[in-house]
Structure 1
Amino acid sequence: MKLVTWNTQWCCGLDGVASPQRIVEQARALADFDLLCLQEIAQGYARLQGAPGDQPAQIAALLPGYRCFFGAAVDEFTADGRRQRFGNLIATRLPVAWVQHHALPWPADAGVRSMPRMASVVTVQEPLLGALRVTTTHLEYYSARQRLAQARALRALHEAQTELALAPPEASDDGSPFQTKRHTPHALLCGDFNAGADDAAVAAICGAATPHGLHDAWPLVHGRAPHAPTFRLFDRTYGPEPVACDFVFVSDGVAAHVRRIEVDLHTQASDHQPVLIELG
């Protein structure tokens, strides 16, 4: 199973052109992916650089054979009633069991620029592991307080979902919303965490001593080698040095199946670099 995760900056490249087609083409050049997890997908924000259009619809049209699930962290309207949405998108050609969208905490941090954040979850049927819970997210950039609260919420969500798999609700096949769900302890969490590997937010996700672990996938393959940079590789607007802030975390049962994880260090279709992970 191959998954590509990418903060697309609303599909806007360093040339200022917003192109969902280029994002899809370059993700496909990286891998024949089974899942594509994209952050910063826009709809209705014509004043953003590149004047993006209806990107969820555009990406769905570019991916025949895939099902696309868009989760809006921001869902608002202009003064003249035009809808604007901004968030994450998961596309997959694997069988889908169910979909969840979770708003993440947005605690007050006076005077600090910020926006709502959320996590999109799609539980798929993966050939090797069976049910696999795939979550993609994009944490707050400017507010460390909010970012840490969001990271802790992601860890709590993983704990709760794993507990549901180990102690499931009453089974039901009545065809109602109470019917049995595909709960699973097998999980993969990916996205832009806006934090380095040694940041408190990352520690909150994979450093906590709890019964149900999450592990940074990079050292599972590369050992002590530093993470490849995923941000500020070409554009230094937000800082002087390249950094890694786009990660993939996997649960205990998935960790042994991580075969490959790598970063595309060449594309300039976004201000972030895409990350590929392969399970086998």
Structure 2
Amino acid sequence: MVGKKKKIKNPGLTLKKRNVKTWAYAYAFVAPTVIGVAVLNLWAVIQSIYYSFHEAKGFAELKFVGLDNYIKLAGDMEVWRSLKNVLIYAVITVPIGVFLSLLLATLLNVKIKGKGIFRCIYFLPVVSAPAAVALVWKWLYNKDFGLFNQILSVFGITGPDWLGNPSLAMAAVAVVGIWSMLGYNMIILLAGLQDVPRGLYEAAEIDGAGPVAKFFKITIPMVSPTLFFVIVTTVISSLQVFDTIYMMFKPSSPSFKSVESIVYLFYRYTFQKYNRGYGSAIVVFLFVIIMILTLIQNKLQKKWVHYND
């Protein structure tokens, strides 16, 4: 015997209450992140913009100076040299790092034994402390007892001063940057690859397409939204490089000027010279550059999607 169904007096009201409860739980879960972003990021951006129009030295009172900090910045060759350094760093790390991440994600998306272990190994640099990573690589690059030069000495080759030579320093830092970003980008791209219908690859195999053709004709077009996201975030992080340079190089090093980043310059003026006004102008300048590059990349993404449609 089937029992009688309980009659709901007002189904619309019950549904509304259920939705409110769901949204309340959702907002409760995202609240800590939203508050953290607002306090640590958004408020910091507003403060930096405000300070950039003031003379803020040490504990002295703020003094409004208008565009003086930006005028000084425009004629500061150290700022432009630092910007050139981070652009070179980005040009090296972004294409190589993103390509290798996509290649690793593609290889780890197939059925192979122990792929979970490989994924963990490649993701380890992401969860490692940046300072510890920089110190380990600094030891590897050491000209006297570093592992790289020790390996070269086995073959009778005298290893170079990787970090002391201005012509090699940027390449050395770029290698660390590429190695550090592989795991994070690989996981994001792997998630995008898992949404690609397997039928497309099977149809391509029937048509006689090889692995390379499938990679360029199916994989890249299908993961292009994820790929553009990875490119944008990688460009932003590359322009903000700081910890690797701070831990691996001394300001007195002959190669320091060839790797000094604009964020390091901001750190030096703000926290070492206690000139918050000029330091804020430098970081706002970088913020504007990042915004412009991000907008350009978004435009290119829309054109790419429209072309493929």
Normalising TM by the smaller chain, what interval?
Answer: under 0.3
Please identify which structure carries the higher strand content.
Answer: 1
TM value normalised by structure 1: 0.23
Higher relative contact order (CA 8 A, sep 6+): 2
Please identify which structure carries the higher helix content.
Answer: 2
Higher CA-based Rg: 2
